[in-house]
Amino acid sequence: MTNKTKIATFNLRSSVLADLEKAVIQGAATSINALVERALVKELGELQRQKRAVKWQAAAKDKLFLNDISEIEQEFEGLGEETASGIDKNVFPD
């Protein structure tokens, strides 16, 4: 992925632009461009999170997926206790 910037033109309401300018003056970002980019990246991340949430909701109703999760949980059951007791023996020898 490249970090090169590209000029883009967008139309914003005057009030939004004024709020952006005020936020930059108050130190929220080094420039309006930086603040707009940060806001867009945040929004795009939220859209991705929402897509994942929809997939997880569908998976929560999928019997095969739930069976896989159950099998994995059974395979790992008790492993945490074994690891913890091994750590205790190494850190606190008898």
What's residue 6's pLDDT?
94
What pLDDT, on the 0 to 100 scale, is given for residue 90? 58
Domain residue ranges in the chain: 11-61, 62-94
Short-list 40, 59, 39, CA closest to 51: 59
Predicted pLDDT at 94:
58
- Token digits of residue 24: 């930059």
Q: What is the mean pLDDT of residues 26-44?
A: 98
> 3-state SS of the chain?
CCCCCCCCCCCCCHHHHHHHHHHHHCCCCCCHHHHHHHHHHHHHHHHHHHHHHHHHHHHCCCHHHHHHHHHHHHHHCCHHHHHHHHHHHHHCCC
